[in-house]
Chains A and B, each alone.
Chain A
Amino acid sequence: MAVVSTSATGRRRRSPFSRRAAIEGYLFASPFIIGFVAFILIPMVWSFILIFQEWNLLGTARWVGMKNLEALMSDPKVPQSLWNTAYFAFISVPLQLALAFFCAILLNQNIRGRNFYRTALYLPVVVPVVVSAFIWQRAYHPDFGIINAALGWFGIPPQAWLFEPALAKPAFIFMRIWVMGTQMVIFLAGLQSVPLSLLEAAELDGAGTWKRFWNVTFPMMTPVIFFNLVVGLIGNFQVFAPALVMTKGGPADATLFMVLYIYRQGFEYSKLGYAATLSWLFFLIIIIFTFIQFRLQGRWVYYENE
């Protein structure tokens, strides 16, 4: 009797999951498991099937084989929108991070009015994307916008910004850099967790401000920079609302970004199969870039625990 009961508890101890706990675990996690299947997994699979289909507005599907993929290959707007997206993301993210890092360093000092500066610099994040699109659409107006007015103080002649293909993307990039409060706050939190003992040790060894920054602060911050870089690129690749509101992809497709083009094919031209095909291309590109960043991470990101 005693032997049986010990072996029973023994077995329970050996198996990591008790039955009751396991059932409860699944039950509590079931919203996510069901939600994942219903709203993510099934749509993903369906989206893949859609590559080989075309839907009409009555809701009937037609198998079209490779037609969507062939269309993708010969569609000149695909390389155009990919180029626009890459141009926007690869320039805006580094600039955004550089400015955010710079501001975080300034704010990390015992400076009077620190809270005011932090609040002011963060405020653009609070502005809804659509509202900020309203503001910038008009701020860039050639005659009555504040951007040309400000440039005029330095003797720079008025530009057509959103009406000029060569200037539209830089205008979008500047607008995106304006919203860098999120990254700034993350950097600030990172800077505040750089151990004082390290900085003091470096100072005792005679390292000046610059040396301390490059040899202590910066390496300690690389994981935060890496995080902001990955999240920032994924986010900025998906730029959509400003382009739809401000330029509708113009002028001359200069701001036709990938998500806008997918939206247009799917929900303006009702080519749902083609839109799904484009979205898979876009998805694969994001995966590849994220993967590359994780592979390159070992070369420059410093992790204390390794």
Chain B
Amino acid sequence: MQSTFQPRTDAEVDAYAETMRRHRQGRDLTTRIIAHVTLILLAVMALVPVLWMISSSLKAPTEIFVTPIQWIPSTPRWSNYVDAFAKAPLWLYFWNTMILCVFTVVGTVISSSLVAFSFARLRWPGRDFFFALLLITMMLPVVVLIVPRFLMFSYWYRWPFRWIGTFLPLIVPAWFAVNGLYVFLMRQFFMGIPVELEDAARIDGASTLRILWQIFIPLSQPVVITVVILTFIQYYNEFLEALIYLKPATWTLAVGIRAMNDQFYATSWETVFATGTFMLAPLVILFFAAQRYFIEGVALSGFGGR
């Protein structure tokens, strides 16, 4: 039932690779060495900039502004992190980011699953039209919306208070399933769930909402986790709209530390790098904890992590 969505198992991949390996047994060793050397070089290029930031976040200024580069700090200077927290309200930014992420993730999962269920399993006139509309909105560049949205949130939407400067301009749309990608992912998954389960529940008198919450959502755990992670990353990184709608008291990490970088660009690299490492850390932890969902989510959607 999940066959359309589960990427091949590792065993299958290995079997495939094994066959491919047999295909070119003749030049096996040279090919392998070349492949390893290339991959090591590329992996180093991918990792070094990040490692350089982390290492520099622990350096003394005298170790940063030297040539040739000193790659490893002589003694790790943890006080750089203390300085960073003293120079900008990083905990406030972090707290704001968490509020934003929690409310948008919950809203996205609830609204997207309702809409996805409607597109996958309910029959109503205009359904295909609205589904096509949803797919088109996925390609819409957000920049055409920001000016009128800014005006709307500044002058129209005043309940319960003026929206601009608060989290509402970012949170409320998430509760209305405006990101088509998540609806699309869930709809695809729901389509693979056998109709018999739904019919059996209906005969037992379950309401549609109950079928969704008690049958579809539990069975769709992989795609729900993927949507949670993708949404979390999206709002953790949200920049353009956050920059426009938020004010210093509601700034998220992305917007807040950008202002900090402007202030300390020339002088304190170690402070800015410590701040950057602070923002990166939760995502790296999340990535290693849920790597499977990251990579599957991206492979399924192709949009994640942009």
Contact = CB atoms under 8 A, between A and B. Distances in A.
A31 B183 CA distance: 11
A198 interface: no
Interface string A236-252: 01101100110000000
Nearest to A121: B46
Nearest to B140: A40
Contacts of A44: 144-145, 148
Contact of B141 (A27, A32, A116, A238): A238
B49 A28 contact: no
B213 interface: no
B14 A110 contact: yes
B298 interface: yes
B16 A29 contact: no
Contact of A135 (B8, B36, B49, B125): B49
Contacts of B125: 17, 22
Contact of A131 (B8, B173, B276): B276
A137 B262 CA distance: 11
Given A42-B148, A149-B67, 8 more contacts: A21-B124, A22-B124, A44-B148, A117-B43, A134-B257, A135-B49, A279-B143, A283-B144
B151 to A, nearest CB: 7
Contacts of B20: 108-110, 199
A188 B176 contact: no
B68 A149 contact: yes
Interface of B: 7-8, 12-14, 16-21, 23-24, 32, 35-36, 38-39, 42-43, 45-50, 52-53, 56, 64-69, 111, 114-115, 117-119, 122-125, 127, 130, 133-134, 137, 139-152, 154-155, 173, 175-178, 183, 208, 236-237, 239-240, 243-244, 253-254, 257-258, 261, 265, 269, 272-273, 275-276, 279-280, 283-284, 287, 291, 294-295, 298-299, 302-306
A218 interface: no
B52 A189 contact: no
B151 A266 contact: no
Contact of B127 (A25, A143, A262, A276): A25
Judged by DSSP, the binding face of A is helix
Nearest to A128: B237
Interface stretch (A3-11, A86-94, A179-187, A296-304): A179-187
Contacts of B257: 130-131, 134
Interface stretch (A71-79, A164-172, A226-234): A226-234
A131 to B, nearest CB: 4
B225 to A, nearest CB: 17
B154 A47 contact: no
Contacts of B66: 144
A263 interface: yes
B302 A209 contact: no
A135 B276 contact: yes
Contacts of A245: 258, 261
B142 to A, nearest CB: 8
A159 to B, nearest CB: 15
A129 interface: yes
Interface string A130-143: 11111111110001
13 contacts: A17-B125, A29-B119, A39-B173, A43-B148, A44-B144, A108-B17, A121-B42, A133-B261, A144-B269, A181-B298, A212-B23, A234-B141, A240-B239
Given A39-B173, A241-B239, A25 B279 contact: no
Given A125-B305, A186-B298, A200-B19, A39 B178 contact: yes
Contacts of A125: 298, 305
B141 A128 contact: no
A146 B114 contact: no
Contacts of A139: 49, 52
A132 B127 CA distance: 41
Contacts of A118: 295
B49 A146 contact: yes
A45 B18 CA distance: 56
B302 A231 contact: yes
A276 B306 CA distance: 24
Given A123-B47, A192-B13, A275-B147, A32 B178 contact: yes
A283 B276 contact: no
A237 to B, nearest CB: 7
Given A28-B114, A128-B237, A39 B141 contact: no
B29 to A, nearest CB: 12
A243 B173 CA distance: 27
B8 A192 contact: yes
Interface string A185-212: 1101100110010011001000001001
Interface in A242-301: 244-245, 258-259, 262-263, 266-267, 272, 275-276, 279-280, 282-283, 286, 290
B122 A128 contact: no
A111 interface: yes
